[in-house]
Amino acid sequence: MGQTGQDSTRIGLIDFRRTPEGAGRVILEFDSEQALVDVHQHLGEIVLDISGGLLDDALVRRLDVIDFATPVQFIDAFATDSGARVVVMPRGEFEFASLQSGKRFTLDVSLKPVAGEGDQAITYSGKTISFDFQNIPVRSALQQIANETSLNFVISDSVTGDMSLRLKDVPWDQALDTIMQTKGLARRQQGNVVWIAPAEEITNQERLVLEASRQVSELEPLVSDLIQINYAKAEDIANLLKSVRAIEPSVQQSMFGSVSVAEVQTEENRLLSDRGSVTVDERTNSLLIQDTAQKIREIRELISELDRPVKQVLIETRIVEANEDFSRNIGVKLGLTGINSNTDLGSMIGSGSLANTATVRNDGISSSGDGSLGVNLPAQGIGSVSPASYAFTLAKAGAGWASLIDLEISALEAEGNGKIVANPRLLTADKQEAHIEQGQERIFTTNTLGEGTVVTKKAVLGLTVTPQITPDDRVILDVFVTKDSFVSPTEENINTLQVRTQVLLDNGETIVLGGIYTQQTSESVSKVPVLGDLPVLGPLFRTKGILDNRRELLIFLTPRIINPVLTAG
């Protein structure tokens, strides 16, 4: 909006800055407060027409402000027939607000906020307004904004001064914040009444209110109250009341956004006043509190939130140890016995079990034999089970001498499948550790420097669980499982299997913890050198054992949250 006949106004400065919020700020300074600036948007650019404006040659140029990382990229300044023009070239979707105060004109250009972007960004939702004032009193400008709202404005007498501003399609709450930031004002709202005053005045007023409240609290009589604690420990609540300080800012943010105003805090604003005290009655699990009536009311409200039944978790566990065993042993005994007899004997065959010596009886005539087992490689027993055997003897008699060939074959094969299942159930409170174990405890005697010492050792299947209930009713489990076993009935050495982990489960969900898998395989051969390697007769001179044992430990965990209401019933 240019005006003919207007006295010329010299432009002394064209500057650009980046605001803390990331907006671009264009600053124009004049030599007179009567400068008129027409702001409008044309083809995606912001045009500032200064009627009667005069530009020095040094200001007629293009400013490259891309490096400031704001929506503004370039600023052009040049002379026109009616004065001077400044063209601001932003990028993207933008919005702008201008303010003229005295000899200074500012234009803020910012990106339009995107829905869902940045929770800390200040959003304005007031009715859009447009103002164009020259040298208007600040009180009158605030009153004009009040006329556009349904709120009642109370403006302090300390608000003085004049300003010039031009606002076009700006939310009224943003316009109010802009004026207050420019003039160092602040506001407080109670209901539909808004109090506007200099920030320092509001701070001092609130400080006086706090001091008066403190003085009243110091003079207020003390009362005693007995508070019954139902679920928590009274001592824990007492320690909380003695240690926690609830410090709150004395300056609250208004519904229109934050205002840069000093905050007043005091450490005397705590759960117990300076004159207050708390005593624990362990017998009844109660608190005896002596303090002002206001403090006791606040403490009662806090205890009502803290003294609640703790949720419990039922942890159903199934521990499965599966094993698959296989073993096979094969062996032989082979011997040759010579017999001296005066009787001419015929051929004979006998069977039985071989020992290291042999006695032969034929037709009631006893003949002595002298011999032993040449090959003594029987099959070994498995546990307490002895191998089955079959023995036979080949005899050939001649005049005065006879020979016996003794052969015994023994074999044992064992195969077994087993499954050991333990199904413990643990019920514990939230964040409380629960432990259960079952196993054997043995006593061993050790001899150290001639002195006997009794040692007790345990080999147990143990489960330790600590649940934590999340706000969305899921369960975090800290699990520690041990599976110990003695190496043998007589040894004190212990085989140990352990699992330690942390898992997140839904209520009622089952998880399987595995991976503890052991396999023991062995193959042993005992033989007579050279003879045991013969192609056909080799098996008569060797014994062979095969062992293949497999074991696996699986742990199934299912947490279930127990409703405190159901538990109480």
- What amino acid is encoded at 513 in this protein? L
pLDDT at position 253, please?
Answer: 39
| Grouped pLDDT means (10 residues each) for the chain, 569 residues | 58 91 91 86 90 90 91 93 93 86 87 59 76 84 87 88 80 86 86 90 88 79 90 88 55 38 42 85 91 88 87 86 73 62 43 46 42 57 58 55 61 67 83 86 76 81 89 90 80 81 90 76 76 73 76 85 60
Residues 372 and 444 in one domain: no
Separation CA 552–CA 420 (nearest Å): 11
Are residue 181 and residue 57 in the same domain, yes or no?
yes
Q: What count of other Cβ atoms lies within 10 Å of the Cβ of residue 319?
A: 20
- Picking from 382, 397, 417, the residue at the C-terminal end of a domain is 417
Burial of 557 (0-12, 13-18, 19+ CB in 10 A): buried
Token output for 389: 């055997």
DSSP H helix total and E strand total for the chain = 6, 32
Closest CA to 183 of 107, 71, 121, 259: 259
Cα–Cα dist 24/16, whole Å: 7
Question: Within this chain, do residues 339 and 354 fall inside the same structural domain, yes or no?
Answer: yes
421 is written with which tokens? Answer: 């299942």
Same domain, 339 and 444: no
Quick one: 134 exposed, middle or buried, by C-beta within 10 A (0-12, 13-18, 19+)?
middle
Domain coverage including residue 302: 220-306
pLDDT for the residue 467: 92
Do 459 and 481 reside in the same domain of the chain? yes
pTM: 0.46
Residues 23 and 158 in one domain: yes
pLDDT at 218: 75
Cβ partners under 8 Å of residue 470, min gap 6: 476, 504
Q: What CATH number is given to the structural domain containing 70? A: 2.60.40.3470
DSSP 161: -
Residue where a domain terminates, one of 417, 436, 458: 417
The answer as to whether 81 is a domain residue is yes
β-partners of residue 190 are: 193
Residue 209 counted as domain residue: no
Domain total in the chain: 4
Do residue 434 and residue 381 come from a single domain?
no
Q: Are 299 and 227 in contact (CB under 8 A)?
A: yes
DSSP string for 96-115: EEEEEETTEEEEEEEEPPPT
Q: Is the domain of 541 the same as that of 463?
A: yes
What is the separation, in whole angstroms, between the first and last Cα of the chain?
79
∠ CA 103-40-81, nearest 5°, is 75
Flag whether 255 is in a domain: yes
Is 2 part of any domain?
no
Within-domain flag for 315? no
- Judge whether 458 lies within some domain: yes
Tell me which residue has tokens 């643990």. 426
Both 483 and 422 in one domain: the answer is yes
d(CA 192, CA 182): 24
HSE-CB of 110 using CA atoms within 13 angstroms? 16
In a domain, 207, yes or no: no
183, 204, 212, 270 from 216: Cα distances, Å: 35, 18, 6, 16
297 contacts 548 by C-beta, under 8 angstroms: no
Transcribe 11-30 into DSSP letters: EEEEEEEE-TTS-EEEEEEE
Nearest residue to 501 via CA among 466, 472, 549, 550: 466
pLDDT recorded at residue 77: 94
Same domain, 408 and 424: no
Could you tell me if 131 and 190 lie in one domain? Answer: yes
The continuous run of DSSP H or E covering 143 comes out as helix 138-147
Bridge-based pairing of strands 494-506 and 360-362 is unpaired
Paired tokens of 170: 């700006």
Last residue of a domain, one of 402, 417, 432: 417
Judgement on whether residues 45 and 144 belong to the same structural domain of the protein: yes
Q: Report yes or no on 400 lying in a domain.
A: yes
Q: Specify the pLDDT at position 388.
A: 56
In this predicted structure, what is the pLDDT of residue 418? 64
CB 171 within 8 A of CB 127: yes
